[in-house]
Structure 1
Amino acid sequence: MSIVLPFLALLLAGAFVAYHRMKLVVWTVISAALLAACWFGGVQQTAVIVAAAIVAFVSALVLLPFLRKPLITGPFIGVFRKVLPPLSKTERIALETGSVGFEGELFTGDPDWNILLNHPKPQLTDEEQAFLDGPVEELCRMVNDWEITHVHADLPPELWAFIKKNRFFGMIIPKEYGGLGFSALAHHKVIQKLASISSVVSSTVGVPNSLGPGELLNHYGTKEQKDYYLPRLAEGIEVPCFGLTGPFAGSDATSIPDFGIVCKGTWNGEEVLGLKLTFDKRYITLAPVATLIGLAFRMYDPDGLLGDTRDIGITLALLPRDTAGVEVGRRHFPLNSPFQNGPVRGKDVFIPLSQIIGGPEKRGLGWNMLNECLAVGRSITLPSTASGGAKAGAVITGAYARIRKQFGLSVGRFEGVEEALARIGGKAYKISALSQATAAAVDRGDVPSVPSAIAKYHCTNMSRECISDMMDIIGGKGIILGPRNFAGRSWQAAPIAITVEGANIMTRSLLIFGQGAILCHPWVLKEMKAAQDEDRKAGLREFDKALFGHVRYGISNAVRSFWFGLTGARFGSAPGDAYTRRYFRKLDRYSANLALMADISMMTLGGKLKFKESLSGRLGDVLSHIYMTSAMLKRYHDEGAPSAEQPLLAWAFHDSVHRIEESLSAALRNFPIRPIGWLMWALIFPFGRRAEAPGDRLSRRVAALLMSPNEARDSLARGVFLTPCENNPGGRINSYLSKAVMAEPVERKFLKALKTKGIEALTFATQLDEAVAEGVITQDERTLLEELRAITLDTITVDDFEPHELRAASYYDREGQRPAQVA
């Protein structure tokens, strides 16, 4: 045993130093002290000498630069260059245009949670809140989603006029140009509220405030372009759209075949230098009604009119709709969610160079510009839309499940329904926190490439899962379309958000971890830049710093992963309160696991990793759920740590950590190099997987929150349109909840009397008469039961129609008569 002690001392000293991320010199000092104790403590001296030699060799090799650089760094940088994943120009631009916020901490394996918790609580200004309470509320009251989706297949003229008059299209345009100049948080809140009543209205408002001429001009436009176009966009004089996607270039936007040739032509009666554009775009939201078209194309200068570069690259320009040669095609019809969407085409369309967004100086920089704006758009519009639908769906479905009775019991009391309600509530809580977190990141000045991809993918995917559970619970109420249906159109529209702004499959398997592993990692991007530095001496110096920082970091994460796996992350300091401290410790564990997996994957697979999409997708899921749970904990503490919300937080947290361990397990079991996978399993799961999905008791508590008036339910419902007006059936159902709960004791008494008191009447009204006459219920209780019957009827009633009301207008001839062939 004495022979082993010196080496065990070195191992324990190394583990202690690595866990606490101390420098190698500290390990050297601690090891020397322990070996001295062994020497004087009677330990076998040969073993102590060998251990001391190991310490001396490692310390000298690593701590002395004149040994370290030629013996380790120099040879390794050559190997690194060979295994370095080849980055295309497209990928390089995507990495360079993004910025890193708190998500970068999650790749360290030891996140500084105080950075997250010290971010200011996201708050609206008084002006922004007044806009939500005023014009946004009024617009929601005007919305009749059935008329929009079935009768008009468009917003009615009065909605278009109201939106333009109140400058909904100018939320992101600065006040100096006539816009509202709102924060990203306000933008999020507006879209969230509109989406809770109509996805057509929310997308109509959202697109001009997302990727498009307004945002691009605001960031990159020339003074002349801003002065002319931004006021017109803010006032709704111009309706914008942006043409990016084409038939032969969907998610792969850099492969667009649309082109512009530099040439001379006539513009406003004068010969000027410009571009002759040929393009074919589709899926362009607002194209059918747009007056100003933003266009992405590849710019060429074959005659060298601008210089020596022939293939200038992706460029962005503005085309007024009435430009000669521009053709706006007929409308697309996206899944019974008929927002304005269609194709835009043009052949040999001439525009001057002054129509390039940002002027001729910005030629060829379109992909950079798009990456920055796409990140912002994905951070706001789609996550906010998902949040509005999920939050409204959670509380309305909870009210429905309490009011709707089957077998003499609220359907929400059945365990199968409780499970579905819990999933809806927990995921709505996640979506709400995640969408707000990404909006807050934009307001802090970040260009959140990785968080925006996380939010886009997970918010839209969880929203689709929520509406699926909603449809299961409400049954026939959901599948019979009509003015009383509050869920059917959301069910039909769910795949739209999954598809747009980067298909979800691509976002998960390529973007989240693919960008995160390089952009957010504390050392990899530094190593890549150093390895590619043309100044070899400076590159070697910077690579040396990054390499040994990376090595220390990697060893630390291996130790931390193993320790957390052994202890279940039950020990160690963590922020938060007595309730959330354990959650932060768990996230410390999964952060270390992610960092370890990222390092090992990049080191062993090199450039092949970018083609291992299943592995990338699973590690992306790990990163996503760590980020998501961080956002939930931030929200919880920002709200003052309300105990009423703890069941929602607990369900959402346990669901996420269960998914984290599932994803880690799948990644390890399918790791391309099997022995490496087995070794990492031993470090990450020394006692196997331990996280479990939320249990029945917790699910029951979440379901109960959705089915009863309470503080947590009100908090979840905040920010969505629940005013119980004629055109808002979901709002009416939600408003009935407190009345239904108040009437339940009387209802139980009445139903019991029907069985035991010998009431012989058959209709509801006569049964009430008899119950009052026999003293079973009072007259006031009768009124309460009559009101309960009325609100229940409104809750469960579905629509019916005359046959001609369901036929398309094109079914009739111009005189309103049925065509002869179908008469």
Structure 2
Amino acid sequence: MSIAIPFIAFLLIGAIAAYHRLRLPVWAALTATVLVACWLLGASGAATVAAGVVTALIAVPLLLPQIRLPFITKPLLGFYTKILPPLSETERVALEAGTVGWEGQLFSGKPDWDVLHHQPKPTLRADEQAFLDGPVEELCKMINDWQITHVDADLSPALWDFIKKNKFFGMIVPKEYGGLGFTALGNHKVIQKLASISSVVSSTVGVPNSLGPAELLMHYGTQEQKDHYLPRLADGREVPCFGLTGPWAGSDATSIPDFGIVTTGEWNGARVVGVKLTFDKRYITLAPVASLIGLAFRMYDPDGLIGDKQDIGITLALLPRDTAGVEIGRRAMPLNSPFQNGPIRGKDVFIPLSQLIGGEAYAGKGWQMLVECLSIGRSITLPSTASGGSKMGAIATGAYARIRKQFGLSIGRFEGVEEALARIGGNAYTISALAEASAAAVARGELPAVPSTISKYHCTEMGREVATDVMDILGGKGIILGPRNFAGRNWQAAPIMITVEGANIMTRSLMIFGQGAILCHPWVLKEMKATTLPDPDERLREFDKNLFGHIGFAISNAVRALWFGLSSAKLGAAPGDAYTRRYYRKLNRYSAALALCADTSMLLLGGKLKFKESLSGRLGDVLSNLYIASALLKRYEDEGRPAADQPLLAWSIHNATFKIEKALSGALRNFPFRPVGWLLWALVFPLGRRAQYPSDRLGHKVASLLMSPNEARDRLAVGVFTTPCENNPAGRINSYLPKAILAEPVERKFLKALKNSDIEAHDFASQLDEGVREGWITADERKQLEELRVMTIDAISVDDFDAQELRSAGYRHDAGADRAAA
């Protein structure tokens, strides 16, 4: 045994040093001290010397730069330079465009939770709250979604006028240019509330405040462009759209065939240098009504009119609608959610260089401009839309499930419905937290490239799941369209959110981990940049510092992953209170596992990793759910740790950790190098997978929260349009819940007495008469039951139509014209 003690001590000290990320000199000193102690305490001298020699063989060459740099680092630099996959210009721009926030901590394997907790609580300004309580509330009351989606296939003139007059299109435009100057959080809250009543209206308002002329002008426009266009965009004199997507390249700006040739032409009566454009764009939101078109194209200068470079690159321009040669095509119909959308085309359309966004100075910089602004758009519009629809779906469906009865029991009490309600509540709570977190990141001044893709993908995917579960619970109420249906259009619109701003399949499999693995990693990007330094000595020193930092990082994560796996993440320092500390420990474990698996994947696969989309997608799922769980915990802390929210928090965290282990399991079971996959499994899951999907007991608690008035339910409903007006069936159903619950004991008493009686009345009114006469219920209780019947009928009723009403207005007009001609 005395022979083994020095080697056990050697390994133990190494593990402790790696776990705590101690520096190499500290590890060497600690190891030497412990080995001396072992020798003094009677351990085998030969074993102690052997362990000391191993320590010296590791420490001496690594601690002495005169040995390490020429004999270790220099050969590794040569090898690294050979295997390093070349970065294209577009990849380089994408990596440098975004900033790294909390997601970088999650990639570290040892998150500093103080960084998250010290982020300020997202808070609206007074003017933003006043706008929500005033113009937004008023606009919501004006919205008749059935009229918009079926009858008119458009917003009414009154809605268009109200939106423009109240500067909904200018929420992001600074006040000095006549806009509202809202923060990203204010923008998020407005879109969220509008989406809870109409996805068409939220899209119409969201797009001008997302990627488009206003956003681009604010960041890159010349002062002359800002002074002219921003006030007009703010007050609605200009309605903007942005032409990026085309038939041949989708939204991949780097591959678009649309082009512009630098030449001379006429503009406002003068001969000027400009660009002759040929383009074909489709799926352009607001194109049919736009007066100002933003356009992405590839710019060429074959005659050298503005420089010596022929292929200038991706460039962005502004085209007034009435520019000669611009053709606005007929409208598209996006899944019966008829927001204005259609194609834009043009051939040999001439504009001067002054119409380039940012002027001639920004010619060729369009890809960088798009990458930066796309991350902002993904962070706000789509997550906010998913949040509004999901939160409204949760509270309205919860109320419906309590009011709607089958077999004498609220349908929400059936376990099958309860499962769906639990998913609705947990997903709505998660979407709300994630959407607010991404908006808060933008509000802090970040350009959240990775969080924006996480938020866009997962909010829209969970939003689709909520829409499906809502439809399943509502049954016939959901599938029969009409003014009383609050769910059908959201279900139809869900695939739209999945598709736009980058299809979700590509977002998950290529972007989240593909960008995050380099941008968020604490060492990889630094190593890559070190290899490009011009001075050889500086290049070697920088690479040496980052390489060995990376090696220590990898060893630490292997040790941390194994320790957390062996202890089931029940030990170790963690923040939070007695309720949440366990969740923080779990996330510490999965952060270490992600860092370990990501490092191994990048080391073994190199540039081929970008083609391993299944592996990349699964590791992206791990990063995403780590970020989602962090957003949930941050929200819980910001809200003052409300005990009433704990079922929602617990369901959401368990769901996220279950998805993390599922993704890690899939990645390791299918790892391209099988022996490495087995080794990683032993480190990550030494005791097997332990995370479980949220239990039925927890699901019951979440479903119960949705079906009764309580503070957690009220918090979930904050920010959606719940006013019970004529055009808001969901708001009406939600308003019925307290009265329906108060009437339940009376209803049970009445139905029990009726069942045991021999009265012959069959209609409800006559039965109530008998009940009062027999003394089963009082006159006041009769009124209660009559009111409950009215509320229930409104909640469960669907619409019916004359056949002519279901035909589109265009069809009716054409059919009438044909009959008249006959």
Per the shorter chain, which TM-score range?
Answer: over 0.9
The 8 Å contact of residues 85 and 610 in structure 1, kept in 2 or not, is answered as no
Identify if the C-alpha distance between structure 1 residues 204 and 98 changes in structure 2 by more than 3 Å, giving closer, same or farther. same
Matched, 1:55 2:67: no
Separation in structure 1 between the aligned mates of residue 556 and residue 47 of structure 2, nearest angstrom? 26
Letter of the 1:232 counterpart: R
The 8 Å contact of residues 395 and 734 in structure 1, kept in 2 or not, is answered as yes
Report matched runs for 1:402-421 at 5 Å: 402-421=402-421
After TM superposition, give the deviation of residue 675 of structure 1 in Å.
0.4
The 8 Å contact of residues 353 and 360 in structure 2, kept in 1 or not, is answered as yes
After TM superposition, give the deviation of residue 181 of structure 1 in Å.
0.2
Helix, strand or coil: the match of 2:776? coil
Separation in structure 1 between the aligned mates of residue 118 and residue 181 of structure 2, nearest angstrom? 26
Separation in structure 1 between the aligned mates of residue 310 and residue 93 of structure 2, nearest angstrom? 20
The 8 Å contact of residues 391 and 717 in structure 1, kept in 2 or not, is answered as yes
Letter of the 1:51 counterpart: A
Letter of the 2:198 counterpart: S
Report matched runs for 1:464-503 at 5 Å: 464-503=464-503
The 8 Å contact of residues 523 and 550 in structure 2, kept in 1 or not, is answered as yes
The 8 Å contact of residues 253 and 296 in structure 2, kept in 1 or not, is answered as no
Separation in structure 2 between the aligned mates of residue 38 and residue 638 of structure 1, nearest angstrom? 50
Q: Which residue of structure 2 lines up, in the alignment, with residue 627 of structure 1? A: 627
After TM superposition, give the deviation of residue 536 of structure 1 in Å.
2.5
Separation in structure 1 between the aligned mates of residue 249 and residue 675 of structure 2, nearest angstrom? 40
Separation in structure 2 between the aligned mates of residue 121 and residue 536 of structure 1, nearest angstrom? 47
Letter of the 1:219 counterpart: H
Q: Which residue of structure 2 lines up, in the alignment, with residue 10 of structure 1? A: 10
Q: Scaled by the length of structure 1, what TM-score is found?
A: 0.99
Q: Which residue of structure 2 lines up, in the alignment, with residue 781 of structure 1? A: 781
Report matched runs for 1:88-103 at 5 Å: 88-103=88-103
After TM superposition, give the deviation of residue 369 of structure 1 in Å.
0.4
Structure 1 range deviating more: 33-42 or 510-519: 33-42
State the identity as a percent: 72
Q: Which residue of structure 1 lines up, in the alignment, with residue 680 of structure 2? A: 680
Letter of the 1:439 counterpart: A
Separation in structure 2 between the aligned mates of residue 252 and residue 537 of structure 1, nearest angstrom? 40
The 8 Å contact of residues 387 and 435 in structure 1, kept in 2 or not, is answered as yes
Q: Which residue of structure 1 lines up, in the alignment, with residue 154 of structure 2? A: 154
Helix, strand or coil: the match of 1:736? helix
Structure 1 range deviating more: 810-819 or 146-155: 810-819
Separation in structure 2 between the aligned mates of residue 466 and residue 10 of structure 1, nearest angstrom? 53
The 8 Å contact of residues 378 and 453 in structure 1, kept in 2 or not, is answered as yes
Letter of the 1:604 counterpart: L
The 8 Å contact of residues 811 and 818 in structure 1, kept in 2 or not, is answered as no
After TM superposition, give the deviation of residue 818 of structure 1 in Å.
6.1
Structure 1 range deviating more: 45-54 or 163-172: 45-54
Identify if the C-alpha distance between structure 1 residues 806 and 109 changes in structure 2 by more than 3 Å, giving closer, same or farther. same
Helix, strand or coil: the match of 2:297? strand
After TM superposition, give the deviation of residue 817 of structure 1 in Å.
5.6
Structure 1 range deviating more: 368-377 or 248-257: 248-257
After TM superposition, give the deviation of residue 820 of structure 1 in Å.
7.4
Q: Which residue of structure 1 lines up, in the alignment, with residue 373 of structure 2? A: 373
Separation in structure 1 between the aligned mates of residue 536 and residue 299 of structure 2, nearest angstrom? 35
Deviation per CA, 1:781-821: give whole Å up to 9, x if none.
11100000000000000000000000112223469466479
Matched, 1:38 2:35: no
Number of corresponding residues: 822
Letter of the 1:7 counterpart: F
Q: Which residue of structure 2 lines up, in the alignment, with residue 303 of structure 1? A: 303
Helix, strand or coil: the match of 1:812? helix
Q: Which residue of structure 1 lines up, in the alignment, with residue 515 of structure 2? A: 515
Separation in structure 1 between the aligned mates of residue 277 and residue 797 of structure 2, nearest angstrom? 55
Q: Which residue of structure 2 lines up, in the alignment, with residue 318 of structure 1? A: 318
After TM superposition, give the deviation of residue 75 of structure 1 in Å.
1.1
The 8 Å contact of residues 314 and 367 in structure 1, kept in 2 or not, is answered as yes
Separation in structure 2 between the aligned mates of residue 743 and residue 562 of structure 1, nearest angstrom? 56
Separation in structure 2 between the aligned mates of residue 342 and residue 251 of structure 1, nearest angstrom? 15
Q: Which residue of structure 2 lines up, in the alignment, with residue 605 of structure 1? A: 605
Matched, 1:82 2:77: no
Report matched runs for 1:288-437 at 5 Å: 288-437=288-437
Q: Which residue of structure 1 lines up, in the alignment, with residue 176 of structure 2? A: 176
Helix, strand or coil: the match of 2:344? strand
Matched, 1:559 2:559: yes
Deviation per CA, 1:51-101: give whole Å up to 9, x if none.
111111111111111111112211111221222233211111100101001
Separation in structure 2 between the aligned mates of residue 758 and residue 540 of structure 1, nearest angstrom? 97
Q: Which residue of structure 1 lines up, in the alignment, with residue 665 of structure 2? A: 665
Q: Which residue of structure 2 lines up, in the alignment, with residue 570 of structure 1? A: 570
Deviation per CA, 1:403-447: give whole Å up to 9, x if none.
000000000000000000000000001100000000000011100
Q: Which residue of structure 2 lines up, in the alignment, with residue 616 of structure 1? A: 616
The 8 Å contact of residues 253 and 314 in structure 2, kept in 1 or not, is answered as no
The 8 Å contact of residues 661 and 691 in structure 2, kept in 1 or not, is answered as yes
Deviation per CA, 1:674-711: give whole Å up to 9, x if none.
00000000000000000000000000000000000000
Helix, strand or coil: the match of 1:302? coil
Q: Which residue of structure 2 lines up, in the alignment, with residue 650 of structure 1? A: 650
Structure 1 range deviating more: 82-91 or 248-257: 82-91
Matched, 1:229 2:245: no
Letter of the 1:123 counterpart: T
Helix, strand or coil: the match of 1:262? strand
Q: Which residue of structure 2 lines up, in the alignment, with residue 202 of structure 1? A: 202
Report matched runs for 1:757-796 at 5 Å: 757-796=757-796
Separation in structure 1 between the aligned mates of residue 813 and residue 99 of structure 2, nearest angstrom? 57
Q: Which residue of structure 1 lines up, in the alignment, with residue 28 of structure 2? A: 28
Letter of the 1:321 counterpart: R
Deviation per CA, 1:586-644: give whole Å up to 9, x if none.
10000000000111110111111111000000000000000000001000110100000
Separation in structure 2 between the aligned mates of residue 724 and residue 298 of structure 1, nearest angstrom? 51
Helix, strand or coil: the match of 2:697? helix
Separation in structure 2 between the aligned mates of residue 344 and residue 811 of structure 1, nearest angstrom? 25
Separation in structure 2 between the aligned mates of residue 82 and residue 780 of structure 1, nearest angstrom? 86
Separation in structure 1 between the aligned mates of residue 535 and residue 647 of structure 2, nearest angstrom? 57
The 8 Å contact of residues 154 and 340 in structure 1, kept in 2 or not, is answered as yes
After TM superposition, give the deviation of residue 33 of structure 1 in Å.
1.2
Structure 1 range deviating more: 695-704 or 567-576: 567-576
Helix, strand or coil: the match of 1:655? helix
After TM superposition, give the deviation of residue 38 of structure 1 in Å.
1.8
Letter of the 2:588 counterpart: D
Letter of the 2:363 counterpart: R
The 8 Å contact of residues 251 and 503 in structure 1, kept in 2 or not, is answered as no
After TM superposition, give the deviation of residue 532 of structure 1 in Å.
2.5
Structure 1 range deviating more: 638-647 or 760-769: 760-769
Separation in structure 2 between the aligned mates of residue 389 and residue 243 of structure 1, nearest angstrom? 27
Separation in structure 2 between the aligned mates of residue 390 and residue 759 of structure 1, nearest angstrom? 46
Deviation per CA, 1:108-159: give whole Å up to 9, x if none.
1110001101111010111110000000000000000000000110000000
Letter of the 1:292 counterpart: L
Identify if the C-alpha distance between structure 1 residues 779 and 43 changes in structure 2 by more than 3 Å, giving closer, same or farther. same
After TM superposition, give the deviation of residue 575 of structure 1 in Å.
1.1
Report matched runs for 1:723-742 at 5 Å: 723-742=723-742
Separation in structure 2 between the aligned mates of residue 543 and residue 132 of structure 1, nearest angstrom? 52
Q: Scaled by the length of structure 2, what TM-score is found?
A: 0.99
Helix, strand or coil: the match of 1:316? strand
After TM superposition, give the deviation of residue 226 of structure 1 in Å.
0.2
Separation in structure 2 between the aligned mates of residue 504 and residue 78 of structure 1, nearest angstrom? 38
Separation in structure 2 between the aligned mates of residue 265 and residue 274 of structure 1, nearest angstrom? 7
The 8 Å contact of residues 480 and 799 in structure 1, kept in 2 or not, is answered as yes
Separation in structure 1 between the aligned mates of residue 608 and residue 141 of structure 2, nearest angstrom? 54
Separation in structure 1 between the aligned mates of residue 643 and residue 165 of structure 2, nearest angstrom? 43
Separation in structure 1 between the aligned mates of residue 43 and residue 814 of structure 2, nearest angstrom? 104
Helix, strand or coil: the match of 2:264? strand
Separation in structure 1 between the aligned mates of residue 820 and residue 647 of structure 2, nearest angstrom? 62
Structure 1 range deviating more: 805-814 or 212-221: 805-814
Q: Which residue of structure 1 lines up, in the alignment, with residue 810 of structure 2? A: 810
